[in-house]
């Protein structure tokens, strides 16, 4: 018989072991006691009985939470990768765990639980120190349903008729144009801007008061009327397409009125701001998209130039300040038009009107670009869905359908994407804003 004992990478035959241990272990109370202290030097460590081996070790403690809800998860198995026999524990009622007797050095942890199949971190690393217990950052995991691209996350309520969306990429704060009205003589589709955080909490509202928020000025003649689009610049200033007054109004970061832009607009629809502070305005009744500098001087009177269109709708920019325009009356293959930051039309354009096929639209209203992936999202309002394309205009996926359930829409209108890739859609006729997962989630199989 030539069985093998595997201990910290050493392989000994019984014949060799007999020289080092008492015969039949009869005179040795601990037959697994090492000759010398084994030192783990890699992530592949094998012990016959780790409970009886005096290797250098420490502990690690942490918490496992749901990536979406941030709530603790009970019963998650946490183990050390590459150690045999397995060293593992289960998270307790508060989602926390403590792994004892983990070999010294840099170790990789693994987590697993039924119905949770994705981990956000690329590696869960713990630097173990002898004789002490180290704490690691919370481990975020995703459920099966949430792990898919653009999965539904949350509903934000408290709106009457939400339209355009804008986002401050630096803070993650979302701005929502909401048509509220107040009845009687002032019932003329009065609008306000609601500033909310990424969880839907209301932070501020402005644009609908008779007096300024600090009571220092009368804002009766500055009320927003049937406003539609909204954009935010790098300094947190807010630009609103005040459609009913055919102007663009500018507000400071805290909602204080600053000024208005008048360029012979007629029923302005949307506003976007480049990283340089240049302002873009879609002006469908004048069949144009106008480009202004930060001082409101005209750089380009009409991006559409020799192809004006009264179908211009939502506009946005990407990190390179390329300009994306929705043209709801565009010719075949020209519903989405793209220009460089100087207003020069780029070769890429795509989309057609009519039908439910991928790349077909029925009343497209708005557009947004994921800064991380370059993916392009278009609100296909008449088909109650959001279509997603890559940076080359190739169809990738879609989400949404008609209805009131989570993830369903009734005439969606606006869209915005934050710096983490989360997508926000104004679900107008359902009087709500919905939040969705990023299209490309950094994750690993558990």
Euclidean distance between CA atoms 152 and 166, whole angstroms: 20
The DSSP-derived string for 120-178 is SSS-EEEEE-TT-EEE-PPEEEEETTTTSTT-EEEEE---SSEEEEEE-TTT--EEEEE
How many other C-beta atoms can be found within 10 angstroms of the C-beta atom of residue 431?
15
Whether pTM > 0.85 for this model: the answer is no
Give the pLDDT score at 219: 60
The β-bridge relationship of strands 202-206 and 83-84 is unpaired
Predicted pLDDT at 128: 95
What pLDDT sits at residue 71?
A: 87
| pLDDT at residue 13 in the model | 36
* pLDDT lower than 50: segments of the chain: 1-43, 443-446
**Exposure string over 33-65, b if 16+ CB within 10 A, otherwise e:** ebeeebebeeeebbbeebeebebebbbbbbbbb
- What is the CA 74 to chain-centroid distance, rounded? 25
- Residue 337's pLDDT is 96
Residues 121, 111 contacting (CB under 8 angstroms): no
Q: What is the pLDDT of residue 25?
A: 39
């Amino acid at each position: 018989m030539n069985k093998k004992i595997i201990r910290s990478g050493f392989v000994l035959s019984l014949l060799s072991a007999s020289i080092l241990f008492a015969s039949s272990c009869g005179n040795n109370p601990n037959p697994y006691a090492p000759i010398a202290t084994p030192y783990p030097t890699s992530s592949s460590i094998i012990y016959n009985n780790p409970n009886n081996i005096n290797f250098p070790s420490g502990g690690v403690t942490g918490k496992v939470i749901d990536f979406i809800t941030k709530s603790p998860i009970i019963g998650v198995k946490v183990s050390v990768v590459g150690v045999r026999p397995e060293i593992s524990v289960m998270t307790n009622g508060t989602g926390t765990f403590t792994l004892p007797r983990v070999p010294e050095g840099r170790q990789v942890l693994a987590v697993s639980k039924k119905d949770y199949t994705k981990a956000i971190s690329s590696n869960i690393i713990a630097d173990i120190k002898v004789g002490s217990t180290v704490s690691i950052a919370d481990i975020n995991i995703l459920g099966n349903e949430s792990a898919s691209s653009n999965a539904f996350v949350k509903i934000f309520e408290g709106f009457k008729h939400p339209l355009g969306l804008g986002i401050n990429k630096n803070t993650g704060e979302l701005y929502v144009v909401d048509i509220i009205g107040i009845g009687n003589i002032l019932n003329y589709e009065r609008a306000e801007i609601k500033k909310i955080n990424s969880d839907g909490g209301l932070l501020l509202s402005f644009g609908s008061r008779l007096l300024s928020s600090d009571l220092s000025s009368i804002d009766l003649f500055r009320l927003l009327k049937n406003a539609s689009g909204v954009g935010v610049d790098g300094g947190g200033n807010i630009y609103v397409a005040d459609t009913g007054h055919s102007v663009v109004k500018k507000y400071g970061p805290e909602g204080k009125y600053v000024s208005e832009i008048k360029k012979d607009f007629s029923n302005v629809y949307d506003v976007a701001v480049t990283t340089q502070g240049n302002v873009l305005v879609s002006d469908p009744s004048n069949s144009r998209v106008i480009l202004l500098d930060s001082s409101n001087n005209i750089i380009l009177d009409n991006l559409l130039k020799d192809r004006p269109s009264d179908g211009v709708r939502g506009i946005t920019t990407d990190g390179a300040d390329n300009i994306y325009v929705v043209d709801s009356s565009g010719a075949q293959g020209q519903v989405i038009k793209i220009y460089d930051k100087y207003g020069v039309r780029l070769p890429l354009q795509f989309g057609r009107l009519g039908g439910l096929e991928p790349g077909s639209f029925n009343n497209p209203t708005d557009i947004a670009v994921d800064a991380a992936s370059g993916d392009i999202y278009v609100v296909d309002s008449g088909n109650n869905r959001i279509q997603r394309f890559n940076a080359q205009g190739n169809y990738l996926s879609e989400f949404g359908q008609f209805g009131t359930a989570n993830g369903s829409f009734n005439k969606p209108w606006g869209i915005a994407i934050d710096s983490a890739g989360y997508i926000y859609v104004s679900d107008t006729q359902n009087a709500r804003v919905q939040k969705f997962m990023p299209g490309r989630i950094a994750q690993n199989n558990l």
